[in-house]
Structure 1
Amino acid sequence: MAALEHDRSRLGRSSTAERVADILRERIIEGLFVPGERLSEEAIGSALGVSRNTLREAFRLLGHERLLDHKLNRGVFVRVLSAADVADLYRMRRVLEGAAVRRCAEASPEALRLIGETCGGGRTLGLRRQVAGRRYRQQPFSHQALVALNQSPRLDETMRQLLAELRLVFHAMRNPRSLHEPFVERNRLLLGLLEARRAEDAATYLEIYLDDAERLLLQAYEPAG
């Protein structure tokens, strides 16, 4: 809980449930809490210095985002996604990202640059990061920035939640590199199509890309029973 004690300073004097939820969401995405893990109200509340009611409201908010499961008489757990959940997330990706690539012709150079350099929340995908105790190199391509080409704050928020759910899948994999590494070159090719403003070619390429990504992910994903 040392990491959460460090986060305590971020709450200030008014530790609202939304701020607590923001911290816990980040920590779940980073893999501090792994899928299937039970969250201790006492330990987390003490580490963050928040009341039980505030923490429970934060848990409720993250439950609505499908990051936590509330199990009757057992407590609150980090959600474990099923194969059906993964398939549904990829259906959503096809809609959100497919619409975005078709708008590349009207995208600014800055918007396209962001796709290749950054991820929402200030995380740079080209850097080595540690996830659930394992280190791997993520490809320099931001699917969050890609969806931003739709110019819709609501779609941006939907994509953020979708990517947070997908992070739960990666944390449950024994070797996340096996999924990321094959797509480094494919991300570069997709970005090249976007920069060339070849919208229909990019859309066709993205469809194949997501089909392959979903298939490989489902093959590698073994959620805890």
Structure 2
Amino acid sequence: MRADAAATRLRREISAGDFAPGEKLNEVAVAARLGVSRNTLREAYAMLAAEGVVERIPYRGVFLVTPTPADVDDLYRVRATVEPACLLWGDDPDTAELQGIVAEARESLEAGDLAAVAACNQRFHRRIVATSGAPSLAEFSDRMLARMRLVFLLVTRFEPDFHADYVEQNARVTELVAAGDREGAAAALRESLLATAQRIIAILESAESTEK
């Protein structure tokens, strides 16, 4: 396995919640888990460090980044620009697929499966980006979502049902898409993303002040 493939797999595992923000990545254990040499793993770590997913601390090792309010502001500014643009100018969204994701999220929420609700939310936003028809943008989005997953893992420590509110917000975007109102869908999505950023920042700042 090459370093880029190892980095891709680590991103996916981070997105799946297999690691926690601030967790130390044991080089020997992770290399064995991926089936790569330690040199290859170090190259993969360097790629993830350049993306802001991990950080190397001298004499201590490699750790997953713990997102800050500034990180959240940056990530959501990007998302609030890119995702609505995909709805406005991308290929026609697969309305049935979006409706299916929303229906699955509602069922998961009713069953109390918050992890499944979060997974549905990620799938929903991936499908929005996929309407761009640009593989390079989809790859960029996957990198963003790995960082976002760290944000969500941190936030749900304080609000376990954090993702619940976004089921109906995604449903509203889907309704507008189904009605052929791309501008309305894009505006609703942008508003949702910017409001989410402020909500997360408030949660993190409250947690920081409590810990002091």
- Partner residue, 2:92: 107
SS at structure 2 position matched to 1:218: helix
Q: Structure 2-normalised TM-score?
A: 0.81
Q: Structure 1-normalised TM-score?
A: 0.77
Which has the higher mean CA deviation after the structures are superposed, 173-182 or 50-59? 173-182
Cα 1:127/1:51, change in 2 over 3 Å? farther
1:200 to 164, 172, 183: 183
SS at structure 2 position matched to 1:22: helix
Residues 140-219 of structure 1: pairs in structure 2 closer than 5 A: 140-141=120-121, 142-173=124-155, 174-219=157-202
SS at structure 1 position matched to 2:131: helix
- Partner residue, 1:83: 69
Distance 1:213 1:74 in 2: 34
Deviations 1:34-54 (A, max 9, x none): 111111112222344432111
- Partner residue, 1:3: none
CA contact (8 A) 2:22 2:65 kept: yes
SS at structure 2 position matched to 1:70: strand
> 1:177: how far off?
4.0
Structure 1 residue runs of 5 or longer lacking an equivalent are 1-14, 119-123
> 1:128: how far off?
5.2
Distance 1:89 1:64 in 2: 15
1:93 to 79, 83, 101: 79
Distance 2:172 2:165 in 1: 12
Distance 1:176 1:84 in 2: 20
Identity of aligned residues (%): 32
Structure whose residues are more often helix by fraction: 2
Distance 2:148 2:159 in 1: 12
CA contact (8 A) 1:115 1:143 kept: no
Structure scoring higher RCO (CA < 8 A, sep ≥ 6) equals 2
Distance 1:32 1:168 in 2: 10
Q: Residue 138 of structure 1 aligns to which amino acid in structure 2? A: V
Aligned residues: 199
Which has the higher mean CA deviation after the structures are superposed, 183-192 or 170-179? 170-179
Structure whose residues are more often strand by fraction: 1
Cα 1:117/1:177, change in 2 over 3 Å? farther
Deviations 1:28-77 (A, max 9, x none): 22222211111111222234443211111121122222211112222110
> 1:202: how far off?
1.7
> 1:93: how far off?
0.8
Distance 1:167 1:113 in 2: 26
Q: CA RMSD for the aligned pairs?
A: 2.7
Distance 1:209 1:126 in 2: 18
> 1:167: how far off?
0.4
Cα 1:19/1:158, change in 2 over 3 Å? closer
CA contact (8 A) 2:114 2:161 kept: no
SS at structure 1 position matched to 2:55: strand
